[in-house]
Amino acid sequence: MTDQETYRIMGIDPGTNYMGYGMLEVAGRRVRSVVLGDIDLHKLTDPYAKLRYIFERVGALIDEYHPREVALESPFFGENVQSMLKLGRAQGVAMAAALSRGLQVFEYAPTRIKQNITGRGSAAKEQVAAIVSRTLGVDRPLRRLDATDGMAVALCHYYTTSSPLQAALGPERVKGLGGGKKAASRKGSQSWEHFLREHPDREIK
């Protein structure tokens, strides 16, 4: 990579009511926010209509902003199987939109994203939003924090791939083809249930 190389990373925070996204532009050692927002799905009651809309909107954003890579937050593992399945489908459709356009896809665990952004794997959404906004100079109020969550995924990927130590650790999964260690445990189940309580918009009604 040269100091003058410019490219874009799309970060996605999967959801089935709101899917956050951010487009990060990297120019040498400088980064800036190109666009961030969320895909509003909560009015669509047919789950398959939601999946189609996710595919179309993610594809349209890719076609408009031309990212080189797409990074997504990976789903939790827990006992709420139906919610996990629906969230996983949403993530998979977003992946498919990127892969259909020949882009590289990367996944990161939620705790790793928070750790990379705030230094704490248990940080709240508001802390993530505050640091993302300060880092990128985002001063306009956002309707929801899903947008800054999406940008946080893009920033996490940038930090991971631009740091030799982080790059050696790598993402949990590369190109959506497996790898990494993610066992479903009682602790993981509790984390998932706690996550749903804190973020009811992620629960599938």
CATH of the domain at 62: 3.30.420.10
**Residue 38: inside a domain, yes or no?**
yes
Q: Which of 25, 73, 107, 149 is catalytic?
A: 73
Domain around 149: 6-202
Q: Which of 38, 69, 107, 146 is catalytic?
A: 146
Q: Which of 13, 38, 107, 149 is catalytic?
A: 13
Which residue numbers in the chain have pLDDT < 50?
A: 1-2, 167, 173-193, 195-196, 201-205
- Whether 3 sits among the annotated catalytic residues: the reply is no
**Residue 101: inside a domain, yes or no?**
yes
At 83 the pLDDT is 81
- Whether 139 sits among the annotated catalytic residues: the reply is no
**Residue 12: inside a domain, yes or no?**
yes
Cα–Cα distance between 205 and 202 in angstroms, integer? Answer: 9
- Whether 201 sits among the annotated catalytic residues: the reply is no
**Residue 186: inside a domain, yes or no?**
yes
Closest CA to 41 of 62, 22, 13, 71: 13
As given in the structure block, the two tokens for residue 173 are: 């999964």
As given in the structure block, the two tokens for residue 106 are: 């990367």
**Residue 1: inside a domain, yes or no?**
no
- Structural domains counted in the chain: 1
At 115 the pLDDT is 94
At 164 the pLDDT is 58
Global confidence as pTM: 0.79
**Residue 84: inside a domain, yes or no?**
yes
